[in-house]
């Protein structure tokens, strides 16, 4: 309950306002909150002007989430090239530096504030990524009886918050409406938690489904970055690409399961 309350109502409820406020420092906190429910043309112009900043910062964050998974994370390989790239994991930080430098250089030519948005997105990634990786080392400490219950709760909530940030940032690729972002992320968090609790055994049968989700995140990040520099896509483009990728990797998972079943059957003959 407390995890759901913290992740949904605090992180997913407050973070969108904070992101919009950072992108519009000329607006007060009260004005940002009011802007979410306002039809004022002036407020809308502020939000529209900040859209490239939100897209670039969020796009850099999501694209680095994808690259980190592709280069560094242990995974079930859907394609041979994934194994090759994973073996080159040492190059992730070099590639991240080159991408950051390139995007900042292009941003400075168009709008210096865009460069700041890009670096904020990259910084946010490495901060949250640090929390996530630290979780593996801290997990054993949760079983230590000398660690207080309050310390365990605080640690788990901070970790939960770091995972919630991905969904909030990705939502800006689909809409700039804060009420819709809060509603969508809140419902999404509840559905994902219920699926995880009640159907974790069923979900884990599809080994490549996470691969599809990570490729979708990579595409979404790329779309957000290109839109920040002026590219335009129809509203259905990102959802369609994400659905196609998830569908493809679901198919690959089902096919792989059938191959494994045939192997087991032939072994017992």
State CA 195 to chain mean position distance: 19
HSE-up of residue 31 (Cα within 13 Å, Cβ side): 14
Task: Report whether pLDDT(145) > 90.
Answer: no
Task: Report whether pLDDT(154) > 60.
Answer: no
* pLDDT for residue 24: 73
- Per-residue pLDDT, averaged over 166-181, amounts to 74
Nearest CA to 10 out of 162, 192, 225, 212 is that of 162
Percentage, residues of the chain above pLDDT 90: 32
pTM: 0.79
Phi, psi of 172 (to 5 degrees): -70, -15
pLDDT digits (tens, 9 = 90+) for 65-98: 999 999 999 898 989 999 999 999 999 999 999 9
pLDDT digits (tens, 9 = 90+) for 225-244: 999 998 999 988 988 998 99
Task: Report whether pLDDT(137) > 70.
Answer: no
Pick the most confident of 8-17, 29-38, 151-160, 248-257. Answer: 248-257
């Amino acid at each position: 309950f407390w995890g759901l309350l913290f992740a949904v109502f605090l992180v997913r409820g407050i973070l969108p306002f904070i992101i919009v406020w950072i992108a519009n420092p000329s607006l007060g906190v009260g004005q940002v909150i009011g802007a979410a429910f306002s039809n004022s043309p002036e407020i809308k112009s502020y939000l529209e002007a900040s859209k490239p900043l939100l897209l670039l910062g969020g796009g850099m964050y999501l694209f680095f989430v994808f690259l980190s998974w592709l280069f560094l994370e242990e995974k079930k390989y859907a394609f041979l090239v994934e194994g090759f790239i994973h073996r080159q994991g040492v190059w992730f930080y070099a590639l991240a530096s080159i991408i950051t430098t390139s995007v900042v250089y292009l941003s400075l030519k168009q709008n210096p504030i865009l460069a700041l948005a890009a670096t904020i997105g990259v910084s946010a990634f490495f901060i949250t990524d640090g929390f996530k990786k630290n979780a593996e080392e801290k997990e054993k400490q949760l079983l230590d009886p000398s660690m207080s219950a309050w310390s365990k709760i605080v640690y788990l909530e901070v970790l939960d918050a770091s995972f919630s940030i991905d969904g909030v940032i990705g939502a800006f690729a689909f809409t700039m409406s804060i009420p819709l972002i809060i509603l969508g992320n809140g419902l999404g968090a509840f559905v994902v938690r219920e699926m995880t609790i009640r159907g974790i055994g069923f979900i884990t049968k599809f080994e490549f489904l996470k691969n599809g989700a990570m490729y979708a995140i990579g595409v979404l990040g790329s779309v957000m970055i290109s839109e920040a520099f002026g590219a335009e896509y129809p509203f259905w483009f990102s959802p369609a690409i994400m659905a196609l990728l998830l569908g493809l990797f679901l198919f690959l998972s089902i096919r792989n399961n059938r191959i494994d079943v045939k192997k087991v059957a032939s072994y017992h003959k």
